[in-house]
Amino acid sequence: MVAAALLDAQGQVLIAERPPGKHMAGRWEFPGGKLAVDELPADGLRRELREELGIEVGEVQHVMTLDHSYPDRELRLVFFTAQDFTGTPRGLDGQRLRWVAVTALQDADILEADLPFIRALQHAASTTTSS
């Protein structure tokens, strides 16, 4: 699985609501999805964001890779940040989208697997603002 924090010019992050019928529907997550067989993570991320959000993503930065266990499944997640994208994100799979300040992500009912990524984003933001 791959996911990205898409960052806008104000430093806000795009999150997506899991649509009805999907595992953990109604909860929020960073956009992304499953990798195809033999697909490199950055390439899979670009494909997923094109398919789900209708945007073209340029350069991405790897932030972390982690394994997470839910009671009914285990995931390996590769997280990226992306500021280099063209187009306006829209929920092509019917998912709701919203831009959230990095400092407010913990209040957004984000999936547990994404929590370490939130901490990394908040740490990076605090380091940038204190420099």
Whether domain 2-130 has CATH 3.90.79.10: the reply is: yes
The pTM (predicted TM-score) of the whole model is: 0.88
Model confidence band, residue 129 (pLDDT cutoffs 50, 70, 90) = low
Instruction: Render pLDDT for 35-50 as a digit per residue (tens, 0 to 9).
Output: 999 999 999 999 999 9
How is the chain split into domains, by residue range? 2-130
Residues 6+ apart with CB under 8 A from 63: 5, 79, 80, 81, 117, 120, 121
The Cα angle at residue 44 between residues 39 and 46, in degrees rounded to 5: 145
Where does residue 127 rank: exposed (0-12), middle (13-18), buried (19+ CB within 10 A)?
exposed
Report which of 36, 46, 77, 42 is spatially closest to residue 61, judged by C-alpha positions. Answer: 42
Is pLDDT of 9 > 90? Answer: no
